[in-house]
A and B are shown apart, each in its own frame.
Chain A
Amino acid sequence: DAGITQSPRHKVTETGTPVTLRCHQTENHRYMYWYRQDPGHGLRLIHYSYGVKDTDKGEVSDGYSVSRSKTEDFLLTLESATSSQTSVYFCAIKDGTGWGGYTFGSGTRLTVV
């Protein structure tokens, strides 16, 4: 088990407020990812990190920022939440050789009202 936890599991917030989601891993993996999942869209990459302080944008990065000050933590911030950011957010780590080695957290269900 790769030891990946997300917090919080559920959150309701108001439009315009900042929100930070946390992803924590216990096994020192280099690559970490944030995805959002919406019906009919599968998983879409928001941002990813390839090391401490090394991050890059994904397919749907507008309105999101990330930070990785320690190997074990990857934070996703919605600077000013909008209703279109209501979604389920998943963190993942790349923990194996090849492209099959992704392990996902259990997700954070975010509702922006």
Chain B
Amino acid sequence: GQQLNQSPQSMFIQEGEDVSMNCTSSSIFNTWLWYKQDPGEGPVLLIALYKAGELTSNGRLTAQFGITRKDSFLNISASIPSDVGIYFCAGTDSNYQLIWGAGTKLIIKP
């Protein structure tokens, strides 16, 4: 089936650092979504993007829907310990199927 390429797979960061992750697709997507999953819980929606070029913020999080409609990125500014978890991108393709990336695991260095 169709896949999203999400990178990096994992990140070790210092508290206070900025974080960036992205997703790419070989085909055009209509919607991009970013979710966060804490251990033992289901994913929770962070940001939804519906238009090419759209840039949306949610607190320290910023996400953009790429102009080509084939990519999206998520930035986290000034990371804090509660940012640890797995971040997933997801998108809807031309058939409105929801496709998920494999996730980016964020780990804070002690």
Using CB atoms and an 8 Å cutoff, list the residues of chain A in contact with chain B: 40-45, 59, 90, 92, 98-107
Contact = CB atoms under 8 A, between A and B. Distances in A.
Contacts of B44: 104
A42 B42 contact: no
A101 B74 CA distance: 19
B102 A106 contact: no
Q: How large is the interface on B (under 10, 10 to 19, 20 to 34, 35 or more residues)?
A: 20 to 34
B90 to A, nearest CB: 8
B32 to A, nearest CB: 9
27 contacts: A40-B102, A42-B4, A42-B100, A42-B102, A42-B103, A43-B43, A43-B90, A44-B100, A59-B1, A90-B42, A92-B42, A99-B33, A99-B48, A99-B50, A99-B96, A100-B33, A100-B45, A101-B45, A102-B33, A102-B45, A105-B42, A106-B40, A106-B41, A106-B42, A107-B40, A107-B41, A107-B42
Contacts, number: 51
B31 A98 contact: yes
Contacts of B43: 43, 90, 104
B88 interface: yes
Contacts of A92: 42
A92 B43 CA distance: 10
Interface in B31-74: 31, 33, 40-45, 48, 50
Contacts of B92: 99
B41 A99 contact: no
Interface centre among A41, A99, A101, A103 (most CB of B within 10 A): A99
A33 B18 CA distance: 34
Given A43-B43, A104-B43, A99 B103 contact: no
Contacts of A98: 31, 48, 50
